[in-house]
Amino acid sequence: MGWFEPKTEKSAVPPAKAIWAICPKCNSHFSKAQWKKNDSICPKCNYHGRLSARERIARMADEGSFEELSPEISYSDHLKFRDAAGDYRSKVEAAMKKTGEKESVVTGRCTIGGFKSVLGVMDFSFMGGSLGTGAGEKITVAAETALAERRALIIFSASGGARMHEGILSLMQMAKTSAAIQRLKAAGLPFISVLTDPTTGGVSASYAMLGDVNITEPRALIGFAGRRVIENTIRQKLPEDFQSAEYLLKHGFIDRVVARSEMKGFIVKLLDLFGVSK
Amino acid sequence: MNAMDKVKIARDPRRPHFNEFAKFVCDDFEELHGDRLVNDDRGLVGGVAKIGDFRCVVLGHNKGATVEENMASNFGMACPDGYRKAMRLASLAERFHMPVVTFVDTPGAYPGREAEERGQAEAIAKSLEFFSALKTPVVVVVTGEGGSGGALAIAVGDKILMLENAVYSVISPEGCAGILWRDGSKAPEAAEALKITATDLLALGAIDEVVPEPKGGAHKNVKSACLKIKRAVIAKLKELTKLPVEELVQKRYDKFVAMGRFN
């Protein structure tokens, strides 16, 4: 460190984030306890905040029914990738430590309202929910398992897109997962995709948009290209609700915006109507 | 030559683009327009053609040689309408038992307001799903820039060829440098780390064959470059059209599922 670099003073006052839950959509402050009590939903603007994979699984799978698939699958550092901040390996291992997960998605067999299902849930806190070879493989195995055992497939997405640290093979996971889901759908089994906040880039441009039914939660961000990239390209301001759940509903890419408290009930209804076996 | 040098060659405006492939790889190309929904995208074009003895549907990103041409075709960045047109034309190929040949050369899918409103993500996703199960041979040639999802949307095929100086990547080196190095000028470092050259991708199993270019690059001798592509494409078509269609589609599935398979 050079002597000329300004020292960052450690503040005696903890940063606002330590005490407050701040809604990223409307910027309102709540106590963490209040935020948690409201199921990570903003009491003011109804933004449905992020949940961990395990929190979602607990809300969706029938109690005691979840049986994890391919829990051993993790990342692959086939490029021996290094950037300015260090190597990929240490970054992904830090994510593993932080979340207690081995990859950005958790998958498993379960019943949902008694209906035979395979459930996959992405965790945005694991490297931005990025799609690398491990996550792509887990989703493919989930789709193949659902097909082999005649189960419905339900995936909750939350991702910034492909994981660039794994290069071209990350990109190929978009093709791989889409191919596996094509087969499931062609065999007459339903795929229900729930796009939660945020679902963008290579994940929205592959399996997340391929649901027989596409569902989202209030105020979730869903899109392909980033807002800033678009603003720089077209050199004009975009509408405030651009790429929001409600905006996509209006433009015809989402079937329903469903509140968290209603989510399981709605999915159970769909599984019943689509004739999934118990 | 390092990875960034290849990126520069891959983006060279003098390189052959779709117009040249239509003229010199195809024997007889007739363009067909429109997605039958809202638009005729100019960033991604296609039509019917003969390549040697093969009747084909040909698709490709449409980069231009001049600024005017590029303004008209969004620099080869396709909108959802382009991907939907590609699927429409590829369906014709399936019905009339013609193989599909695609030419991939794009900085990426077009990032714009209308592209998002018309479902850029959905169009790419649908395209991946559609080509993975298309019941006719698909030969892909990455000829310049294989820019992420916008490239992959027409690059799910049975054989993936790549020109010697082309690049194919999950993100542009500049984009990657901006995010991971927080400095766009570190693009050469990012290009190296991402492994985006034809030889790297062959080693990773993402492509099947490298097509050599004339000395100094394809732009030094456009016709000769196109003839080399033509020969390589015909060889693959000969191979693929011999396979029963169920076996072809199964092999395509196995090929993509094997990418990043964990045992």
Of B126, B181, B195, the CB nearest to A168: B195
On whether both A35 and A81 belong to a single domain, the answer is no
d(CA B83, CA B74): 14
Contact map slice: B 116-155 vs A, CB within 8 A: 116-122, 124-126, 128-130, 132-133, 148-149, 152-153
Using the CB atoms, write b or e for B27-37: b if 16+ within 10 Å.
eebeeeeebee
Could you tell me which of B129, B127, B179, B181 has the C-alpha nearest to residue B154?
B127
The Cα of B234 is separated from the nearest Cα of chain A by a number of Å equal to: 25
A231-240: pLDDT as tens digits: 888 787 899 9
On whether both A240 and A262 belong to a single domain, the answer is yes
Q: Is B194 on the interface with A (CB under 8 A)?
A: yes
d(CA A78, CA A169): 9
Question: Does a structural domain hold residue A175?
Answer: yes
Q: Is the pLDDT of residue A10 over 60?
A: no
Confidence of residue A7 (pLDDT cuts 50, 70, 90): very low
Domain CATH number, residue A207: 3.90.226.10
On whether both A38 and A101 belong to a single domain, the answer is no
Question: Does a structural domain hold residue A8?
Answer: no
ipTM: 0.98
**How much is the pTM?**
0.96
User: Region A164-173: what's the mean pLDDT?
Assistant: 98
Hey, how many other C-beta atoms are within 10 angstroms of the C-beta on B246?
9
For residue A59, the enclosing domain spans 50-273
Could you tell me which of B134, B170, B126 has the C-alpha nearest to residue B252?
B134
B35-76: pLDDT as tens digits: 999 999 999 999 999 999 999 999 999 999 899 999 999 999
On whether both A31 and A58 belong to a single domain, the answer is no
On whether both A33 and A148 belong to a single domain, the answer is no
Q: What is the Cα gyration radius of chain B?
A: 17
Q: Structurally, how many domains does chain A consist of?
A: 2
Question: Does a structural domain hold residue A33?
Answer: yes
On whether both A41 and A118 belong to a single domain, the answer is no
Question: Does a structural domain hold residue A73?
Answer: yes
Task: Note the CATH architecture for domain B3-251.
Answer: Alpha-Beta Complex (3.90)
On whether both A99 and A133 belong to a single domain, the answer is yes
Question: Does a structural domain hold residue A278?
Answer: no
